[in-house]
A and B are shown apart, each in its own frame.
Chain A
Amino acid sequence: MGGGSAVKQHERRFLQGEREDTGKKKECGEAYWSVKTFGEYEVRETKGGEYGLFKKGNLVGMFVKATVEEERILFPLSRGFMLEVSRRGVREITIPEKALLMGMVAADGSNRSRREPRRRGGYRTDYLTAFYSDDLELIRMFDESANRVYNLASHHYVRKRNGLITAAIYSKGIYYDLSDLNLKPGPYEFHAPREHLDDEGKRAFLKGFFSGDGNVSVSGGEITIRFYSRCREGLEELRQTLMDLGFHPRGIREDREPKGKSTYSFLIPRSEHIKFINEIGSYRPKHVRIFEEMKRRGEGREE
């Protein structure tokens, strides 16, 4: 398959190929020992403190850093990914900051591209990844995670009419990264990439999503916590994600709107409100205020 540059190919296929300053060399050594074995996978460490991942004796990946835990080994990759090696095999998971960013974009963002002819011949492609909110705190969270994961800053635009802020990043790398995860496959659609999230990532994704398209309402002393969206499939995946974490969300409800379009939603049962607040929560200041009040009351009741 390889044509063009080996470095670019590695970036595209393995999220590797980053430059490392390794100093001038007169010779090159290669001693190593085994760190851990999971089934057909083996992790070896070298004299220089580097790691190699072997499958049935063949080198499949190499890394400069590793976090060795009891049940798994994590290798940092670029663009906010980690390679998780465990008894279940190997998978790419995202760091929590990236999961948060994805949750926010899934709820209130977009990820798109377009290719256009240039006036003087040739073509150019524009790539846009954006998050929309009228809440400065959420825009700040989006910027912070984008900076942490991709090392990129966003441009802000404010719509005068309603104060809606757009935080926009123009980057081919981010566009393809999120497209490959199938995060926003079509207009008004999203997916929860559960296979790329560990428990911490799942919580961060849900928190990001809930901050955008979550709803906390108080009426007559009754509080409801509700996820809503136009995308039924994505919403079902959010329910699954919550179930993975031990929640028992209620079934999806459809609210028909004129012109045949529908909004879907589901509720978190009241018995799990405190669990939700403690484990997931929200960054939206309006949610946070109510949650804090509920926690005070909830804890008071337990005493």
Chain B
Amino acid sequence: MKKGRCGADCGKCPYFRKLCIGCVIETCLVDKCIKGTSYTGITHPRSFCRLRPYCPIGGKDRPPPIPIPPLAGRKMAKVGFPRFVPEIDVADERSWFWRDGFQASAVFAPLWQLLTNEKILAHASSKGLHDYLGFDGKILLSTVMPDELIDRLETKDYFRLINDLKPDATMIPDNYTYTDAPLYQSWSQNIRLVSLANDFLKLDTPLIGLVKGANLRQMDWALRKQVEMGYASFAMPARELFEEERLDEFLPYVLISLKRSYRVREDFELLLYGVGQKLRNYKDISYSSLSWFLRAKHGEYYWDGLFYDLRDPVIRFEECYCEACGGMMPQDIIDLWFEDKERAMKTLAAHNLLDLSRLKRRKRR
């Protein structure tokens, strides 16, 4: 008989007894809690524990398993990610860079910002994202959102939103898969992901699959199901893994998994979502994030895909000949900041955008 680390009976698991190694996660929060260490907001205070349904002594039953639907299929073309896809803030017009004459072939618009702002949602739904934003390029809808919102949306809600917003492509719905929560939760979430990816085949909108999972097995499984259904463009939400410096544990295997599933490398594309920096070790991967804008708001300047404080002597007196700077150096942006803050911020943001979009390394003078 197989028992999880926390004492839950894995032998009775309705999911993948072979694929799943059982709950042997060292960091399992349920296991830790039973042994005496809890975490505020998750397993503590105990009366409000979020993981109670997965706990063998929690006194609540596990949610019933989600059945895996028979999967349909459809031939899909790639969305065609450029190297850098800027994310924008739909509620902050200063991030709508095309209004200042800068170009990009595609942007990501985050759905959660619309969901938390009724006025903007009503406005954007009534005329579609293209008219609302006044942007001619491709608008890709990002479904990456906080857990509370994920739990609130069903397939029909997504369909209604997508029909109203009319993006040029949309991610399939996001989920949550924590590396330190019981595997039953992350498997349930990943099956939900696949099931929704299957529902989404009914949409006319081009689709972007998601690479998610609490471990490599889960990522690999969800990825292969999406490949079976015909998905060819994938986004991997990677902000957390990147910040926890754990991306290298996962990314090489995701790439292997993808390469195994396709005959030719050109048949699929992968984008790292939420990573505001170029990763030199991984070629041919696209990126997307809002950091070009967020960092500009904080007076931070990108140079060759890395960011610096504007006052940093490393870059402070380096002239930049990008379309935004036209020969200005960071010191000039600091000076401009005193005269016309908005213009300085926008110049800095546009510069950051262009720096992140550059394919070649800069030459230091």
Contact = CB atoms under 8 A, between A and B. Distances in A.
Interface of A: 1-10, 13-14, 16-32, 46-48, 50-52, 59, 61-64, 112-117, 121, 123, 179, 182, 185-189, 230, 233, 260-262
Given A4-B244, A186-B337, A187-B337, A28 B57 contact: yes
Interface residues of B, number: 66
B290 interface: no
> Which of A30, A51, A189 has the most chain B CB atoms closer than 10 A to its own CB?
A30
B46 A29 contact: yes
A28 B49 CA distance: 10
A27 B45 contact: no
B337 A28 contact: no
A18 B40 contact: yes
Interface string B206-224: 0000001000000000000
Given A2-B177, A25-B57, A260-B338, A17 B40 contact: yes
Given A23-B36, A27-B59, A123-B306, A52 B144 contact: no
B178 A2 contact: yes
Interface of B: 27, 29, 33-42, 44-49, 52, 55, 57-59, 144-147, 150, 174-181, 212, 237-241, 243-244, 246, 277, 281, 297-300, 306-312, 314, 334, 337-339, 341, 344-345
B46 A5 contact: no
A18 B240 contact: no
Contacts of A188: 334, 337-338
Nearest to B345: A186
Contacts of A116: 306, 314
A273 B310 CA distance: 39
Contacts of A23: 36
B36 A21 contact: yes
A168 B262 CA distance: 52
A189 B59 contact: no
Contacts of A9: 178, 240
Contact of A261 (B40, B177, B312, B338): B338
Contact of B147 (A2, A59, A187, A189): A2
Contacts of B47: 29-32, 46-48, 50, 52, 62
B240 A4 contact: yes
Contact of A114 (B238, B307, B341): B307
A29 B150 CA distance: 28
A35 to B, nearest CB: 13
B55 A113 contact: no
Given A6-B178, A7-B180, A24-B36, A115 B44 contact: no
A1 B297 contact: no
Contacts of A112: 299-300, 309, 311
A20 B49 contact: no
Contacts of B300: 112-113
Nearest to A117: B306
